[in-house]
Structure 1
Amino acid sequence: MARPGRPKKKTAEAVVKDIKRQTRRKFNAEEKIRIVLEGLKGEESVAEICRRESIAPALYYKWSKDFLEAGKKRLNGDTDREANTTEVNELRKESDNLKMLVAEQALRIRVLKKDLNGLT
């Protein structure tokens, strides 16, 4: 039986997962670009760069592919970008306001037409 006040023992696998989760490096965009450009220069092999940066070669190639795809889109004139939630909410509010304005104008036009038909 477990004693009160004593923490439960974790399995070795759980401990390793926790350590990996806490020690995982997070690369910002500038670091990723620097690493990809080093590989594209060709002065060092990709394997050497990956070893030095402590990343898997598959991760390097993923970053490289993303980098080249983004460059290709930009050169083709694709300036689309993802809108953040604030922008989306503002656009929805503006859309609702414009719909309301159109409905009010349509109602006014209908009323004026009825008044005009009543005069003739």
Structure 2
Amino acid sequence: MRMKSGKQKQSAENAVRDIRRKTRRQFNAEEKIRIVLEGLRGEESIAELCRREGIAQSLYYSWSKEFLEAGKRRLAGDTSRQATAPEVKELRAEASALKEAVADLTLENRLLKKSMTGDGEDDE
């Protein structure tokens, strides 16, 4: 019987681990910035802040590093950024519309050239 309780205990631990992975909290950018700024203020220790927010200290420090590196790049004049999905869709639609306009104008230009030469025969 001991074998069963060991297997049950292991499967229960695995189930709990799986649930925790699937229900892990996702922080958006604003929340990450708020937490990092609170840590930088120094009003409470990083350990207390992380305990209150329910995050690991290593996660806080990685967010802090990303935050400070992004600020450094911005101050150095690197203003490039990643385009968001809606921006990409909008730019693709605009590019498609422009290509279509160029194709229409090219076709119209060819038709006008043919009408100027007579019956559509090329000048040679």
Category of TM-score, reference length = shorter chain: 0.5 to 0.7
Q: Distance in 2 between matches of 1:67 and 1:89?
A: 28
Secondary structure, aligned partner of 2:117: helix
Deviation at 1:16, TM superposition (A): 1.7
Q: CA deviation at 1:67?
A: 1.6
CA drift of 1:14 comes to 2.4
1:41 aligns with 2:57: no
In the TM superposition, residue 34 of structure 1 has moved relative to its aligned partner by 2.7
User: Aligned-pair distance for 1:104?
Assistant: 1.8
* CA apart distance, 1:64: 0.5
Q: Which residue of 2 aligns with 1:97?
A: 97
SS of alignment partner, residue 78 of structure 1: coil
Hey, what does 1:83 align to over in structure 2? 84
| Structure 2 alignment gaps of length 5 or more | 1-7
Percent pairwise identity: 59
Structure 1 length-normalised TM? 0.65
**How has the CA–CA distance of structure 1 residues 98 and 14 changed in structure 2, closer, same or farther, with 3 Å as cutoff?**
same
Q: 1:100 to 1:62 in 2, by over 3 A?
A: same
Residue 60 of structure 1, CA deviation: 0.5
The size of the alignment, in residue pairs, is 111
State TM-score, norm by structure 2.
0.64
Provide the alpha-carbon RMSD of the alignment. Answer: 3.1
Name 2:11's counterpart in structure 1: 11
**C-alpha displacement of 1:22:** 5.8
User: In the alignment, which residue of structure 1 is the partner of 2:51?
Assistant: 51
1:4 match? none
Structure 1 runs of 4+ aligned residues shifted over 4 Å read: none
Deviation at 1:106, TM superposition (A): 1.1
Matched, 1:107 2:107: yes
Give me the whole-angstrom Cα distance separating, in 2, the residues matched to 1:23 and 1:103.
Answer: 51
CA, structure 1 residues 55+90, in 2 after alignment: closer, same or farther (shift >3 Å)?
closer
